[in-house]
Amino acid sequence: MQSLWMLVASFLFSIMGVCVKLASDYYSTSEIVLCRGLIGISVIAALVRVRGGTFRTPFPRDHLIRGGVGVISLWLWFYSFSLLPVATATTLNYMSSIWIAVMLFAAAWWQGNKKFEWGLAATVVLSFIGVALLMRPSLDADQLLGGAISLFSGVLSALVYLQVRKLGLLGEPEYRVVFYFSLTGVLAGLVGSVATGRVPLWHSHSWQGAALVIMIGLTATLAQIAMTRAYRLGNTLVTANLQYTGIVFSSLFGVLVWNDAPGWLGWLGMGVILASGLLATYHNHRSSQIAARNLPKVDPIATEV
pLDDT at 108: 73
Cα 88 to the chain's mean position, in Å?
14
CB neighbourhood size of 197 (10 A): 6
pLDDT at 37: 93
**pLDDT tens-digit readout, 179-223:** 999 999 999 999 988 887 777 777 778 899 899 999 999 999 999
Residues 6+ apart with CB under 8 A from 72: 156
What are the sequence ranges of the domains in the chain? 2-303
Alpha carbons 237 and 231: distance in angstroms, whole number: 9
pLDDT at 303: 40
Alpha carbons 279 and 30: distance in angstroms, whole number: 35
For 2, the enclosing helix (H) or strand (E) is: none
Please name the amino acid found at residue 130. Answer: G
Report DSSP state, residue 84: S
Q: Are 63 and 180 in contact (CB under 8 A)?
A: yes
> What string of pLDDT tens digits covers the 305 residues of the chain?
677 888 899 899 999 999 999 999 888 898 999 999 999 999 999 999 999 889 999 999 999 999 999 999 999 999 999 888 888 888 888 887 778 777 877 777 777 766 656 676 677 778 778 877 776 645 466 678 888 999 999 999 888 878 877 887 788 888 898 899 999 999 999 998 888 777 777 777 889 989 999 999 999 999 988 887 777 677 655 677 777 788 888 888 988 998 887 778 888 888 888 887 777 767 666 766 666 665 555 444 444 43
pLDDT at 238: 66
Instruction: Give the Å distances, CA to CA, from 198 to 30, 94, 107, 206.
Output: 10, 32, 42, 18
CB neighbourhood size of 97 (10 A): 26
pLDDT at 100: 76
Alpha carbons 140 and 38: distance in angstroms, whole number: 35
**pLDDT tens-digit readout, 212-257:** 999 999 999 999 888 877 776 776 556 777 777 888 888 889 889 9
- Strands annotated E in the chain: none
Alpha carbons 285 and 291: distance in angstroms, whole number: 10
Alpha carbons 12 and 216: distance in angstroms, whole number: 9
pLDDT at 304: 40
Report DSSP state, residue 28: -
